[in-house]
């Protein structure tokens, strides 16, 4: 079992920056992929970014490349999503998720944190 808890969401101005955190507990994250997803009102949940815990390889959806950075802190068992040059369309509830590297679906999810970008 993996428990995930997100934090860091808040109201921010267009062009601003924000860092989301996802603290994991319950087991070590070796052999796991950690992902960030988001869901805007009236829209389906979408993939944002992911990082392979072992090795640190990262993946991003096209709309956030160059603006968002996913990273991890092994000692703290925490994943971060650094967001910059924020746009109104980045407004959403952001979720942290975890899956085993051999799985194709994410098994563990956090409760979500709200990010609102105001113009």
Question: How confident is the model at residue 56, as a pLDDT?
Answer: 87
Question: How confident is the model at residue 86, as a pLDDT?
Answer: 98
Question: How confident is the model at residue 1, as a pLDDT?
Answer: 86
Contact 100, 69 (CB under 8 A): no
Question: How confident is the model at residue 74, as a pLDDT?
Answer: 86
Question: How confident is the model at residue 17, as a pLDDT?
Answer: 98
Dihedral-angle region of residue 49 (phi above 0 means left; psi in -120 to 50 means alpha; beta otherwise): beta
Q: Distance of alpha carbon 18 from its chain centroid, rounded? A: 12
Question: How confident is the model at residue 52, as a pLDDT?
Answer: 94
Tell me the torsion sign for CA atoms 33, 34, 36, 39: positive
Ranges in the chain, pLDDT < 50: none
Question: How confident is the model at residue 43, as a pLDDT?
Answer: 97
């Amino acid at each position: 079992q993996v428990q995930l808890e997100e934090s860091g969401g808040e109201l921010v101005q267009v062009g601003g920056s924000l860092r989301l955190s996802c603290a994991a507990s319950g087991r070590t994250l070796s052999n796991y992929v950690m992902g960030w997803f988001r869901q805007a009102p009236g829209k389906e949940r979408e993939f944002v970014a992911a990082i392979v815990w072992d090795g640190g390889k990262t993946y991003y959806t096209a709309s956030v490349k160059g603006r968002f950075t996913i990273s991890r802190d092994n000692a703290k068992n925490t994943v971060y999503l650094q967001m910059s040059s924020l746009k109104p369309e980045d407004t959403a509830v952001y979720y942290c998720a975890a899956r085993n590297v051999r799985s194709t679906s994410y098994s563990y999810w956090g409760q979500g944190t709200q990010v609102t970008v105001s113009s």
